[in-house]
Amino acid sequence: MKKKKVKKPAKKTVKKVKKRTAVKKPAVKAKKKKVTSIPAGASLEEVGVITHYFPKVDAAVVKLTKSGLSIGDKIVIKGHTSDFKEKVNSIQLDHEPIQNAEKNMEIGLKVKAKVREHDVVYKIVS
């Protein structure tokens, strides 16, 4: 009787895996919040609050809570992400342009940048 040669299983080669080292990411610098400057000697008077924004026409609905607003007034809109000043050029009430808006009115106001609900509208009083 002849002995059969038994094949030994092939040795498995073990691949050495390189140990991954942690890559240190550079520290993220905190962004400085831009603060709107107002003229010296002027103060801010709260006028109302933004209740809605229409992005296609860049208009905001403002609920006047403290005082009135007129065309030509300079305002500052401040919120979590918005902080800018502008001159009031257009005010509407029920889709009709008006010159003056009084306390407790809900008006449409043309704005130059995106605003959000609960942003506060201030009038610059000199």
Domain count, the chain: 1
Q: Which of 75, 70, 73 is nearest to 99 (CA)?
A: 70
65 within some domain: yes
Q: How far apart are CA 39 and CA 84, in angstroms?
A: 14
H-assigned helices in 37-100:
none
> Domain range spanning residue 76?
43-125
pLDDT tens readout for residues 29-59 = 766 666 677 778 889 999 999 999 999 999 9
**Is 15 contained in some domain?**
no
Q: Is position 12 within any domain?
A: no
For residue 15, pLDDT over 90 is answered with: no
Tell whether 51 is covered by a domain. Answer: yes
User: The domain that contains 111 carries what CATH number?
Assistant: 2.40.30.10
Give the model confidence (pLDDT) of 56-79 as tens digits.
999 999 999 988 999 999 999 999
Q: What is the pLDDT of residue 62?
A: 96
Percent of the chain with pLDDT over 90: 63
- What would the pLDDT profile of 87-110 be if each residue is shown by its tens digit? 999 999 999 999 999 999 999 999
Residue 9 in any domain: the answer is: no
